[in-house]
Structure 1
């Protein structure tokens, strides 16, 4: 029996791809363990799966001056030696690192223990944790084709992003019943992620009368962002968030308005949903959502619309409505392009790399 240790944490984007790989690894007979941050969010997500979880001490290296950068060095050092002890006990055939700062000392420990490492980067640009892990990786999986130009040919593997299998099994009719929508009018789903997106929420509600002329609108607006004044409006349903019903909501969508986070984009790619991508601006992020969105636009999966233009002028409702109409009218072309993408099978692609490095036929 081959053994694998998974690591990654800090945000859902560093954990859910690991969860997406579990069914494939379990079917192949891998013995699976997980190393994450003590009391981190990964512990709460991993333990219910039955996978053995081991918590280590962790710290974060910030890109700005902060006293915690000094104290966290000791926490990272402690996590490194804890990881060495765990890996010597577990003796895995391969370590898979999804990133996040908890993963870095685990990768370093794997190198010391002679355990081959496979890393995965979700975004177009590599985060600091993965850059610090890169010298110790046997293979480096990436999700956007442009990223390969920055990696050694013998290390980089274009895989796409592993996504949750259950998302692929939604039921359109159930989604329509949930929202009390009819089957004879197209559905626009709007999502800003689990926290919602204030800018998108405002724009959608400002344009709602025009949108409802063409679409039924299902709006996932984030916790605390439901507008009670709009409750009961025909053709419009709003939810703070959905969990178990999310596959059904996506199944009924004819197109989606979304942010530019890689997990959301690759879920929509796998589901072949034409998308209008409104990334966070550089003021609100390191700019990775903009690069992610531009890559998807270049590959013909959807269109990108910025919150503000190059002169700093805020997006106007007319521009938003034009972009929505453009994506919807060209939806068949986007779907055709998505069907051809090799990145749609992210979980299987990454699984094949892990099997190769572990010495197991996939």
Structure 2
């Protein structure tokens, strides 16, 4: 573990995380586990990081996009923008005297990793998905270390130095239930609660199936909190006192701790939160996710016995209705809950923080080297 005295400058880390909660929440949790470091942030203008990154981390921005579709004029423009972004990150790293970079993948990872390595700085990448993204697969050999959310991802990165640490979650998920914010929803304490989570990409098709199933579930005594997202045109077509449709819910740790079963997409961050909450689930991967990576994530949970997996294109209302009833069978519910608990990695942020500490240069070693150099 890197320690600093009052006379030493703490190691300086640039965190590059942008776009979605799946990239940002693990990065923020990791930053919070590194209080002794000097941390600054790299993002993209007008993305979620401009709202979510805590004020104590100075935010720098670059323009960068991914390569989409077939090669053409757009590819050339994207390549030119990437080269410009690499140059800008290089200048930032040099002028800011950073000791290394940490990124959670996505488009912003490419210029960050390439700039850091061109300067001889360590680059740590965290890949949360069971099927690593294109940027991770391409640049993982250039990274100092690639930390994995799922051990299954390692087989896709044969030339990288990998270590499985799980995926960090928001700090509220690690708090004792008694200190969490109150649920503040009119739900009795003794009823089964089904929570439906659409994810950041929305889930209009799943929302429609849930509304078809809701009357039968409610007749059986189940209460429902349905997080619909804000792009569902049919959100007001069903109502019942035991059914609460909300675009989102702020205190997700409280909600998932109270829930009995979840119906959810299969983003890596959401799955991590389900595991930490010890919550059995029915997983319906987002069918348009890049390279169908949500299905790869869901298969890990299915294989462990922590979830039931259905493809959206094949799922009917009758199947979804029956799956929830089956999962609520006391014996099945207990076994699935145990399996979800076994998948949870509650100290992921700590493991990742320790990895970063070990990778960054030791300040005392640096100062000794600089003193020796100045006297030679």
TM-score with structure 2 setting the length: 0.86
State the Cα distance separating 1:133 from its structure 2 match.
Answer: 2.1
Tell me the distance in 1 between the aligned counterparts of 2:43 and 2:222: 43
| 2:13 alignment partner in structure 1 | 4
State the Cα distance separating 1:360 from its structure 2 match.
Answer: 6.5
What SS is found at the alignment partner of 2:168? coil
Tell me the distance in 1 between the aligned counterparts of 2:162 and 2:345: 14
State the Cα distance separating 1:287 from its structure 2 match.
Answer: 1.0
1:295-327 Cα offsets, whole Å, 9 max, x none, are 111122211122234xxxxx2222112211232
State the Cα distance separating 1:228 from its structure 2 match.
Answer: 2.8
| 2:324 alignment partner in structure 1 | 324
State the Cα distance separating 1:84 from its structure 2 match.
Answer: 0.9
State the Cα distance separating 1:354 from its structure 2 match.
Answer: 1.0
Cα RMSD between the aligned structures? 2.3
1:119-146 Cα offsets, whole Å, 9 max, x none, are 1112111112222321210111111121
State the Cα distance separating 1:229 from its structure 2 match.
Answer: 4.4
Q: In 2 relative to 1, CA 327–173 (structure 1 residues): closer, same or farther, beyond 3 Å?
A: farther
Tell me the distance in 2 between the aligned counterparts of 1:70 and 1:208: 50
| 2:335 alignment partner in structure 1 | 333
What SS is found at the alignment partner of 1:241? coil
State the Cα distance separating 1:339 from its structure 2 match.
Answer: 2.9
Q: Which moved more, 1:121-130 or 1:351-360?
A: 351-360
Q: Structure 1 residue 17 and structure 2 residue 23: aligned? A: no
| 1:312 alignment partner in structure 2 | none
Tell me the distance in 2 between the aligned counterparts of 1:347 and 1:22: 8
1:266-285 equivalences in 2 (<5 Å): 266-281=272-287, 285=290
Q: Which moved more, 1:211-220 or 1:320-329?
A: 320-329
Q: Structure 1 residue 227 and structure 2 residue 242: aligned? A: no
CA contact (8 A) 1:173 1:252 kept: no
Gaps of 5+ in 2: 1-9, 364-376
Larger Rg: 2
Tell me the distance in 2 between the aligned counterparts of 1:173 and 1:135: 43
How many equivalent pairs are there? 348
Among 222, 243, 249, the alignment partner of 1:242 is 249
| 2:292 alignment partner in structure 1 | 287
1:266-285 Cα offsets, whole Å, 9 max, x none, are 1111111111101123x565
TM-score with structure 1 setting the length: 0.89
Among 125, 131, 134, the alignment partner of 1:125 is 131
Among 42, 46, 50, the alignment partner of 1:43 is 50
CA contact (8 A) 1:6 1:95 kept: yes
| 1:182 alignment partner in structure 2 | 188
State the Cα distance separating 1:342 from its structure 2 match.
Answer: 6.0
Among 29, 37, 40, the alignment partner of 1:33 is 40
Tell me the distance in 2 between the aligned counterparts of 1:72 and 1:184: 55
Q: Which moved more, 1:300-309 or 1:16-25?
A: 300-309
| 1:88 alignment partner in structure 2 | 94
Tell me the distance in 2 between the aligned counterparts of 1:279 and 1:154: 27
